[in-house]
Amino acid sequence: MSSTGITPVPFGRRLKRFMADRPLIPLVILLVILVVILQILRPGIVNERWIANTIKFAIPLAILAGCQTMTMLTGGIDLSVGTVATMSAFIMATQVVKQDPAVAFLLAMMPAVLIGLVNGIGVGVFRVHPLIMTLGTSLIGTGCLQVYQRTVIASGAKIPDFLAWLGTGVTYGFPNALLLFLPLAALIVFTLARTGFGRLLYAIGDNERATRLSGVQYWQVITALYVTSSVLAGITGLLYIGLIKAPSLSLAEPLVLPSVAAAVIGGTSIFGGRGGYTGTIIGALILTVLTTLLTILQMPEGARRILFGLIVLFVTAAYLRIVEER
């Protein structure tokens, strides 16, 4: 405190301190740099339409990454989000053919709640490692979906107009999906920062023993958490089918690992106790822009994946170095 005012602190150190205090800033800078690179490589690509498009694709990823953020805060992970999203999307698209949309919606959300409940009880009561638990339910869910597919093979599928409007529509230049995402994101941020439940997620990830001694019942928190995560994944599935418009059995599966990556890039510690949702949202945007960038480079698929992996690793490592001050 005493000497810093007099002796000039090296600029690098000061910059580091500044970034450590505001971990979002380096993320935003990285996002801007990526956009600038894109603009240089393909002048004129960055326009209103491109931005709306990027946001449209970033939103499902950002919601799933929200599931990962919340579970990772407790030291867990939810690998079943892809399956859950796929299931709700597929059931919605097939049931809406004959049923009332509201009924179809309820049917679509049922497996989400069920899988979340099983995950929560497995992790919270029987103490199965979240990685194994959610991987297991994910496989079971995929299997069930295959069985289900045979029973509805004749009925066909359609995308409800409302979901198509929500997923792909743009109003005054703003994607309609923001109508869903903005309140949802605000709710998650608020929950994490200002509610008892949010506090408990951080505390459990930091020191589970301490929460137990404070009277927290682990299984309650964990069950509620995994159900919430699953329901969010289910909603994402409905949004995503409106965007992709082609129901398949592996619809949202490719989003699972990027959702983990987005949370990690956004500064959430996989060991629990650290992180937040705002960083995750920017992480999801960074990944989406990065994908576009690699697509226009016109590389072979293999090289693109290698580059993608390298960049994710590099960014995460660099980010942790900047933010962690120890």
Partner 1 sequence: MTTSPLLDATGVAKNYGAVAALRNASLSVLPGEVHALMGANGAGKSTLVKILTGAIPANAGRILIRGEARDIRSPAAARRAGLLPVYQEPSLIPDLDVLSNLRLTSTPVEPFRAWVRELGIADLDLRDTARDIPLAVLRVLDLARALAVEPDVLLLDEMTAALPANLAEKVLEVVRRQGDSGRAVIFISHRFVEISALCDRATVLRDGETVGVVDIVPGVEEKIVELMLGTRIVKTHVAARSAAQKAAPAAARPRIAVQNLRVGTKLSDVSFDLADGEVAGVVALEGQGQDELFAALAGSIRPSGGTIEVDGAPVKFSHPIDAIRAGIAYVPGDRSEALAMQRSVRENIALPFSAALRNWGPINMRKERATVLSAIERLQIDTRAQGEVQRLSGGNQQKVTIARWIAADARTILCFDPTRGIDVGTKQEIYKLLRELAGNGKSVLFYTSELEEVQRVCDRVIVIFGGRLVDIFPVEEADEPALMRAAYGLPRGAKADIGILADPTAHASDAPEATP
Q: Which residues bind partner 1 (CB under 8 A)?
A: 190, 194-197, 199-200, 202-203, 206-207, 209-217, 220, 224, 273-274
- Alpha carbons 197 and 182: distance in angstroms, whole number: 21
Q: How far is the CB of 167 from partner 1 (least distance, A)?
A: 31
* C-beta of 18 vs 190, nearer to partner 1: 190
* C-beta of 101 vs 273, nearer to partner 1: 273
* C-beta of 169 vs 273, nearer to partner 1: 273
- Alpha carbons 160 and 294: distance in angstroms, whole number: 32
Q: How far is the CB of 198 from partner 1 (least distance, A)?
A: 9
Total length of the chain = 326
Residue 244's SS3 state is helix
Q: How far is the CB of 3 from partner 1 (least distance, A)?
A: 16
CB-CB contact of 237 with 88 (8 Å): yes
214, 224, 221, 87: which is closest to 144 by C-alpha?
87
Which tokens sit at 54?
């990027």
The distance of Cα 5 from the centroid of its chain, to the nearest Å, equals 42
- Alpha carbons 190 and 181: distance in angstroms, whole number: 14
Q: How far is the CB of 221 from partner 1 (least distance, A)?
A: 8
* C-beta of 171 vs 207, nearer to partner 1: 207
CB-CB contact of 71 with 54 (8 Å): no
Q: How far is the CB of 151 from partner 1 (least distance, A)?
A: 39
* C-beta of 228 vs 292, nearer to partner 1: 228
